[in-house]
């Protein structure tokens, strides 16, 4: 990318006290000044494209990392749910177990009572 500005100033001062020149129809030149201004700023397009490519690669890398982390979170959440389901028996199972223990207790108590007699 190149930004360029140019300017030129041409200043002529005539000696108006002197007689007019017949060939030019103007008074003689007392002083003449030419000012040229040139400003130039260059930045290579390749540098800009290189920077954009670096940013794009970094963005892609961060996106992949974020996606990987999200997959890890999902996997851990699923494993946690499965472990909770395995470790804690369901409500109907606990109710059946409690009923069986109570019935066993009643049977043992009845058996002891019958054995004493």
Instruction: Summarize the confidence of residues 100-109 as an average pLDDT.
Output: 93
The answer to pTM > 0.85 is: no
Q: Where are the beta strands (DSSP E) in the chain?
A: 2-14, 29-42
* DSSP β-bridge partners for residue 71: none
- pLDDT range class, residue 73, cuts 50, 70, 90: very high
What's the pLDDT at 103? 95
């Amino acid at each position: 990318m190149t930004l360029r500005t140019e300017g030129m100033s041409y200043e002529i001062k005539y000696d108006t006290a002197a007689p007019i020149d017949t060939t030019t129809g103007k008074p003689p030149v007392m002083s003449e000044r030419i000012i040229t201004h040139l400003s130039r700023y260059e930045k290579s397009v390749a540098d800009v494209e290189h920077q954009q490519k670096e940013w794009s690669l970094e963005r892609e890398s961060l996106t992949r990392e974020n996606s990987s982390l999200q997959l890890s979170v999902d996997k851990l959440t699923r494993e946690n749910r499965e472990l909770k389901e395995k470790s804690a028996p369901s409500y109907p199972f606990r109710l059946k177990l409690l009923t069986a223990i109570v019935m066993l207790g009643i049977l043992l108590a009845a058996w002891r009572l019958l054995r004493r007699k």
